[in-house]
Amino acid sequence: MEANHFYRLMCRIRFFEELVLEKFPSGVFVGTTHTYLGQEANAVGVVAHLRAEDIIFSNHRGHGHFLAFGGDPRALFAELMGKRSGVCGGRGGSQHLHWRNFYSNGVQGGIVPIATGMAFAEKIKRSGGIAVAFLGDGTLGEGVIYEAFNMASKWNIPVLYVVENNRIAQTTPIELTLAGTIAGRFQAFGIAGEELETCDVLDVYQAAGRWVAQVRETQSPAALILHTYRFGPHSKGDDTRPAEEVARLWEVFDPLKVFSRRLSAQERAAIEAEERERIQQAFEAALRDEYPLPSELGRLGENVLVPTSSSLMSGDILTLGPSFNEGRKQASGAAGGGKGIGENGVTVVHSLNRALRRALAENERVYLIGQDLLDPYGGAFKVTQGCSTEFPNRVIPTPISEAGLVGIAAGMAMRGLLPVAEIMFGDFLTLIADQVINHIAKFRWTYGEAVKVPLVIRTPVGGGRGYGPTHSQSLEKLYLGVPGIHVVAVTHFGSPQDLLLHALWQDEDPVILIEHKSLYPLPLFEASDPDFEREVDWTALGYPVYTLRLRGAPPPILSLIAYGYAAELARKAMLQLAYREEIFCELVVPTQLNPCESKKLLESVRRTGRAIVIEEGTLTLGWGAEVLARLAEQALPSLLRVARIATADCPIPASPPLEKAVLPSVEAIVQKAIDIL
């Protein structure tokens, strides 16, 4: 490769990322972005050695890798905008890209075993291809990568692990979270490698050439550790480093400055002008491109429903998913529709923050544990802001190790402390599933009530911000059928502060607290709201259930049942139905999702005879399906009689007679058939 081409590619990456940061405040891009500023030499130097049959698996900071691989800047801009012409048709956003043999994903750590498996498949097929997995220093906290290292070494898998050590995770310096050395981690698994401290693309190119060739020749793994610097924030605006430190990085370690000394002023100016024009034209072209239509969602969008006023009256029970656009407008600050909503000015995020501060102040057994909780950042959604300043010894920053930090928190709880663990995005609830399902939820019952795990796991969920497939999900239904774990959803129709404190101080079982991201900026409901009146009831565990009705309206003929942010969408729908269609509803908002308690839901449906269940989790086998099954069993016997048989809501006992009692049986089926007939 000609030396000038190195500079051209680095300029392409640099100008692309600068334009992204410049234009993001204008709203043309969706979700978030993690720029590659300062690390351009790494992508260009490594990717230059790869062949068409080779695979790249990148991470959340993957724009530079994509462009170095030959990706189209226009398609990348369009993907960041959510346009039809995007790399993935607007479905993936900044972090989720696939083009030819290039892949990226926003979940830290999880890409490493996937890339390793891809390389294993190429070895089995004898294609000659290898895989390159890019990972950052922060990802070294994820346990799953060490499982991948072990198998790669044991099975001689041709994969090159490229660690870009930019010396800081989101806001936490590596010195606070990393024990030992980076190289030592690979050495422990017998994986050969090299460390390189440089910002010169030619140095990276030469080192990468040696290791790509070795992986290809030996068909075994290797590691290239590039000590580097990122000049921009982790994402759009979360840089807590001093300005003078960042300025020094630009001055001393800029790979473009280092390489430009090899070029004449004329060559440098010509390349820069061409690449700036290329990027500007790509951006303007992407701006003109169209957004995809709902009909283009493909097979996974087949159950998207668009309700009409007539459909509301055509059936007794309907299940709908909330509108993406409604959630998006609310998240961006659109009017809520109720004059009395939030006149006191306290928002959901403020209320949760007050709860944590109060808990820390009033009980020295309370600890906060999670990623990037320290001030001045204060967590990804600022729920913990100020806590580490007031209570520096009881706010514990962790590496990106969701399963590990939840396991540590569970042990703390079992030994008498009251930990609150934060999972940065609800999508990462998948990473803690083994800890929750096979350990935390079972300990109390399995150990004969001799131990308790008073642990609260907080996590933001939901879409409406354009974060894409791995940062927008509502996955709480994965835990709704698990005995021993309580799942509770925050709402702005009550006090999030009281809800969190009840979970922490009064609930003796572990709690997963679901906080929809679009709720955070919303003000709390006021009893003086001119449009709505509110009733409050309580579950057996002490969690509130809210029922809202329009003031002065005729008796409701339809029950809306929703939790979290979907309940806010339902509140808006109530107003439209009343004023436009003269259809009067009441809204039931439970906060306790598991165990499912249906008393207030049943009372409402018996009054109205009709129900719509709204949730943001996916339609099939969701919370709404459970609610409707209970309504069908208990609320409408004259219209519909159904029954279900399943294992009892209890861990499977070892004792044979107890095991027989909780499992389905022929006798149970016969008796249930007699009962319903």
Which residues have a catalytic role annotated? 471
Phi/psi at 56 (5° precision): -115, 130
Asked whether 522 and 515 are in contact (CB, 8 A), the reply is no
Nearest to 406 by CA among 442, 447, 449, 435: 435
Radius of gyration of the chain (CA): 27
Token look-up 């709480």 returns 476
Distances (CA, A) of 671 to 645, 648, 668: 11, 16, 5
Residue type, 199: C
- The helix (run of H) or strand (run of E) holding residue 389 is helix 387-390
Checking DSSP bridges between strand 98-99 and strand 102-104, what pairing results, if any?
A: antiparallel
Give residue 382's region: left, alpha or beta (phi > 0; psi -120 to 50). left
Asked whether 4 and 263 are in contact (CB, 8 A), the reply is yes
Distances (CA, A) of 14 to 65, 68, 179, 426: 12, 11, 33, 32
SS3 308: coil
Sort 50 into a burial class: Cβ within 10 Å, 0-12 / 13-18 / 19+.
Answer: buried
CA 298, distance to chain mean position in Å, is 23
Nearest to 399 by CA among 643, 154, 185: 185
Q: Mention every residue, 6+ apart, whose C-beta is less than 8 A from residue 540.
A: 597
Q: Which residues pair with 433 in a beta bridge?
A: none
CA distance 512 to 456: 6
Assigned token pair, 444:
């109390």
How many other CB atoms sit within 10 Å of the CB of residue 454?
A: 23
CA distance 237 to 32: 10
Residue 379: DSSP 8-state? S
